[in-house]
């Protein structure tokens, strides 16, 4: 999770977030090269008084500065489209969880199991166990199995919310009357924190999200305990 001096993105904890990090680094390198080239060109123009008499009217140069930006945009667009399609891909999920946003808490419904649903509220500071994170810990975590595709159906009951877990690469709006779909997969066990990312009222900052990924045998034991 993020820390006070964190300047970059959070570490990737899902294959989707890894793809997003790769695309971020790919695009940032292109931006860096363009910026260095523009800075070099400006420096040359400012520090050099000599120039060729035909430099201001060359057909070949006009073709280059028209075609080159188009090629750069293509090198950015192709990986972007691939990542967008991966974000929308939901094939053969082993588990479906319905997430409902309220003012100001979340409800999780495990639709594959009867009568398995619960509300998730932020733990007040006075009830927070030692070592847990203030304003991020909840009384009931969303538990998912590792190495398994989990389909998440996201909606809201009252106003707009946004279900976001940065380390898993997920940010999906919760819209009243509409069901949005995304998927998450975590190859490793862990606890991942997020928050509502849509201003939804006075207590918007008190709607934390906690996703706990556990091995399949532990998930099955959790199901038996909570069913």
Full pLDDT tens readout for the chain, 227 residues: 677 777 888 888 888 899 999 999 999 999 999 999 999 988 987 887 766 666 666 777 788 888 999 999 999 999 999 888 888 877 788 899 999 999 989 999 998 888 889 999 999 988 888 888 888 999 999 999 998 889 999 999 989 999 999 999 899 999 999 999 998 889 989 999 999 998 988 888 899 999 999 999 999 999 888 87
The whole-number pLDDT of residue 90 equals: 76
Tell me the domain boundaries of the chain. Answer: 13-86, 93-224
The CATH H-level (homologous superfamily) assignment of domain 93-224 is Cupredoxins -  blue copper proteins (2.60.40.420)
Tokens 């009357």 sit at which residue?
A: 177
How far is 171 from 42, CA to CA, in rounded Å?
A: 40
So what's the architecture of 13-86 in CATH? Orthogonal Bundle (1.10)
Q: Is 76 helix (H, G, I), strand (E, B) or coil?
A: helix
Q: Which residues of 194-224 are buried (b: 16+ CB within 10 A; e: fewer)?
A: bbbbbebeeebeebbbbbbbbeeeebeeeee
pTM of the model: 0.82
The whole-number pLDDT of residue 54 equals: 64
How far is 189 from 223, CA to CA, in rounded Å?
A: 17
């Amino acid at each position: 999770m993020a820390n006070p001096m964190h300047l970059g993105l959070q570490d990737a904890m899902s294959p989707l977030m890894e793809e997003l990090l790769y695309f971020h680094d790919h695009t940032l390198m292109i931006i860096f090269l363009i910026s260095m080239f523009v800075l070099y060109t400006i420096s040359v123009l400012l520090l050099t008084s000599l120039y060729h008499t035909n430099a201001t009217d060359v057909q070949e140069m006009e073709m280059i500065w028209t075609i080159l930006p188009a090629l750069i945009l293509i090198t950015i667009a192709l990986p972007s489209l691939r990542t967008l399609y991966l974000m929308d891909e939901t094939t053969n999920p082993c588990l479906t969880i319905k997430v409902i946003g309220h003012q100001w808490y979340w409800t999780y419904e495990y639709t594959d199991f009867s009568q398995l649903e619960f509300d998730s509220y932020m733990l007040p500071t006075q009830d927070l166990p030692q070592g847990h994170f203030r304003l991020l810990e909840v009384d009931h975590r969303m538990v998912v199995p590792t190495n398994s595709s989990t389909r998440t159906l996201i909606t809201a009951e009252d106003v707009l919310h946004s279900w976001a877990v940065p380390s898993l690469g997920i940010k999906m709006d919760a819209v009243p009357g509409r069901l949005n779909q995304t998927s998450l997969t975590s190859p490793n066990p862990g606890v991942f924190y997020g928050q509502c990312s849509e201003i939804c009222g006075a207590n918007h900052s008190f709607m934390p999200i906690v996703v706990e990924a556990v091995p399949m045998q532990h998930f099955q034991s959790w199901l038996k305990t909570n069913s």
